[in-house]
């Protein structure tokens, strides 16, 4: 069965530092790939998604992610962290042959230090 | 676009009682999903509808759980004979209908079973 692994349940960075949140998926056929963000007391919202085409995908708030088929990865990055980036981030997939069900990883909570 | 609406926001109940949650999706969306989220975990798929048809139900979902979407608009999720292990955030999401479409989430219903 398709699964999503997020390395690190908590990541802490200083304001202005690089943000790197890791995501790996398990399937021989690359699925559709997503990153969602959940701010405190808010619903999940989409940051970015990869379906086809260019493997470097840009999202909202300066985030981007790169699909690497050889590594079955879809890591999320942002060059310079801002205090407002503190939130929980979820990597998610929709398998091509799995209907319309989105499968989520366990999430990574990002802390940003002043 | 008024977004996905869930009611109630919070529900406290005693073990053994039945509870029902409501979700109003974005009006033109024909897919509606229910997820459950516990602390420190990503959303766990429960079930989804395309219009009024329930197309998939998680094997993890016991027969105490039932969901309906009678007219292809709002949906209800009922839990009978609640148990303390049912305590979680119940999330509803909707999407327009293409397989690679993002999910639009509501703010969730927080269930506490005492």
Average pLDDT of A1-30? Answer: 92
Residues B45, A103: Cα–Cα separation, whole Å: 7
Predicted confidence band at A97 (pLDDT cuts at 50, 70, 90)?
confident
Residue B71, pLDDT score = 86
| Residue from A31, A102, A107 whose CB has the most chain B CBs within 10 Å, to mutate | A102
Do the strands A108-113 and A10-14 form a parallel or antiparallel pair, or are they unpaired? parallel
Q: How far is A2 from chain B (nearest CA, A)?
A: 13
Per-residue tokens: B74: 């709002």
Residues B83, B114: Cα–Cα separation, whole Å: 8
Report residue A9 CA to chain centroid gap.
13
Residue A78: closest CA among A56, A55, A62: A62
**Residue A5 sits at the chain B interface (C-beta within 8 Å):** no
Residue B1, pLDDT score = 54
**Residue A106 sits at the chain B interface (C-beta within 8 Å):** yes
Q: Residues of B with CB below 8 A from A49's CB? A: 100, 102
For chain B, 114 residues long, the average pLDDT of each consecutive 10-residue run is: 89 98 94 94 94 90 92 94 96 86 93 97
């Amino acid at each position: 069965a398709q699964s999503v692994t997020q390395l690190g349940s908590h990541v802490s960075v200083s304001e202005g530092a690089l943000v790197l949140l890791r995501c790996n998926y398990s399937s021989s056929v690359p699925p559709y790939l997503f990153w969602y963000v959940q701010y405190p007391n808010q619903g999940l919202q989409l940051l970015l998604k990869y379906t086809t085409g260019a493997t470097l995908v840009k999202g909202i708030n300066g985030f981007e992610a790169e699909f690497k088929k050889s590594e079955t990865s879809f890591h999320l990055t942002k060059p310079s962290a801002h205090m407002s980036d503190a939130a929980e981030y979820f990597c998610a997939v929709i398998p091509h042959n799995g209907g319309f069900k989105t499968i989520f990883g366990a999430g990574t909570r990002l802390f940003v230090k002043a | 676009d008024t977004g996905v609406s869930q009611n109630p926001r919070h529900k406290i109940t005693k073990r053994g009682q039945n509870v029902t949650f409501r979700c109003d999706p974005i009006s033109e969306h024909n897919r509606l999903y229910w997820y459950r989220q516990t602390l420190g975990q990503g959303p766990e798929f429960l079930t989804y509808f395309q219009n009024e048809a329930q197309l998939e139900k998680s094997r993890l979902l016991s027969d105490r759980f039932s969901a309906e979407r009678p007219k292809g608009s709002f949906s209800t999720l009922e839990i009978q004979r609640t148990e303390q292990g049912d305590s979680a955030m119940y999330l509803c999401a909707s999407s327009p209908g293409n397989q690679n479409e993002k999910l639009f989430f509501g703010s969730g219903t927080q269930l506490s079973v005492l």
